Amino acid sequence: MSLSVSLCVLNIFAEEKNGSREFLVSKNMDIYNSLFKELDMFYVDTINPEKTIKTGIDAMLNSLDPYTVYIPEEEMEDFKFMMSGEYAGVGAIIAKHKNAIIINEIYEGKPADKCGLKVGDKFIEVAGKKIGEDKSTSDVSNLLRGDANTVVEVVVERPGEKKPLKLKITREKIAINPIEYYDVLDNNIGFISVSNFTDKTASSFKEAFLDLKKKGITSLIIDLRSNPGGLLSEALQIVNYFVPKGSTLLTTRGKVKQWDETYKATSSPIDTEIPLAVIVNKGSASASEVVAGALQDLDRAVVIGERSYGKGLVQTTRNLPYGGGIKVTTSKYYTPSGRCVQAIDYSDRDENGYVKRIPDSLTTEFKTANGRIVRDGGGITPDSVVEIKDNYSELEKKLVSDNIIFDYAVNFRVKHKNIAPPKEFVFDDYDDFKKFVKDANFTYTRNTEKGVKALVDIAKKEGYYEIAKEEFDALEKKLEHDIDKDLDHFKRDVKWLVTAEILSKYYYKRGFLSEMVKEDVFVDVAKEILNNKEAYKKILSNP
């Protein structure tokens, strides 16, 4: 053997021994390809190549983090919709209700609305296909969707109408407005609710904010609750509206150093003085945390609510062969103070493969522009924490989950063609609602009843029931609920829910939210702080 050949062989063995990344990648790809070929040739049953490979891909990506996902060609259109908020269809949300598919919500000004469809309409036929009990919401949704400017014919049954209605709907490109609701609240406080960050969020937000300024607002609440995030650029643009040009808003760092970037405010702001309050909850994630974190670190807004979700990872979409793609985590983001809000370290798993949140004891202190202490590793901690408990009674929950309130609102719209605007409307026929509930044979079980039943079961198992049977029977009888009395006892809260649902049938989602915001604990705290200039300044100053 020549010296050159010997050296080559030694290098190969050295590579194998040292486990270089190039060799390990090549080796394991060969193993994977060979393994699948063996299965395809010799496994007793015929293997579906796409399904089997997809299962392997998903398992591989699941070992990384929940945000790195493979997108097959057939799912790319839905993925683009999530990013853009656009799809071609009729502009309605459908739901299964009493074994039927009905319209649950309609987007204002969209094809379903323009052609005359109403919430509560039951589909009998869509695009020539009968819609029976066997059809799912996905089945009907697929029939309603289609290319823009094409027509789909539907037949629906409508409460209050004797005969089915046949309607033709011209599909359109549907852009979901990310600004669900905005208005002027008490004391000239503006309110803007942002549902997600699509490619139109920043421009829609700007339009809403300028409209509110024309109406004379002197402070602003930005509601980011349950906003899962979206496009980073849109979140940064909203921050840019309120901070001086040139301010550092965010930095991202990952494996590919050429992609590391520092994002600054690149355009002139709209308003750097108006007092701001940002509301977040445990469902506020990603781009929502970018907005809240940047405005908090720059001492530009008071953050109110619950600790946010804690997603400090940035994803990039890359194309794959045959029309698919991969959304891959490429970096982490850091707010202006230098903190990363990522709550879970997915690289640190226990022996069972589980991950845990980073404990508060292992987080690090950072400082805002004014020197206030903030911490990394667990989402955005509000400046004013709102501890909210489940204040809904079992009665209210059951009325909602059984669609009693929904059905009553649909029935109300049949009887009343028009109502007053949201700020003027007053629902004053509670007795009619009570009658509707009782006519529907509505029943529910309270937690106290569940507790007594559990206690009786335990007493029977332990042999004490017979000793205290009379007492148990007396207690059960005393706690038996009366629907009529319960509806009176919870009248204020139930009436509020009914009012909001009725408003949604005339004024869409904005009507619903206009009522809900009236009894909103988070909004009340935000208003209290914004109404007290000294308290607002004190929170943002260095203690």
Would you please indicate which residues are annotated as catalytic (active-site) residues?
Answer: 286, 297, 311
Helices (H), 298-358: none
Look-up of token digits 């060609």: 73
In sign, the C-alpha dihedral spanning 72, 77, 78, 82 is positive
Q: Calculate the dihedral angle through the C-alpha atoms of 494, 500, 502, 505, rounding to the nearest 10 degrees.
A: -150
Confirm if 84 and 198 have CB atoms less than 8 A apart. Answer: yes
How many angstroms separate the CA atoms of 425 and 505, rounded?
A: 13
1: Cα within 13 Å, side-chain hemisphere:
8
Query: CA 17: distance to chain centroid?
Result: 49
Fill in the amino acid letter for 522: F
Confirm if 105 and 119 have CB atoms less than 8 A apart. Answer: yes
Confirm if 142 and 121 have CB atoms less than 8 A apart. Answer: no
User: Where are the strands (E) in 390-445, listed by range?
Assistant: none
415: Cα within 13 Å, side-chain hemisphere:
9
β-strand pairing of 219-223 with 276-280: parallel
Taking the alpha carbons at both ends of the chain, their separation in whole angstroms is: 78
Q: How many helices (H) and strands (E) does the chain have?
A: 18, 21
How many angstroms separate the CA atoms of 245 and 248, rounded?
A: 9
| Token code pair at residue 42 | 């010799």
DSSP 466: T
**207: Cβ–Cβ under 8 A, 6 or more apart, which residues?**
179
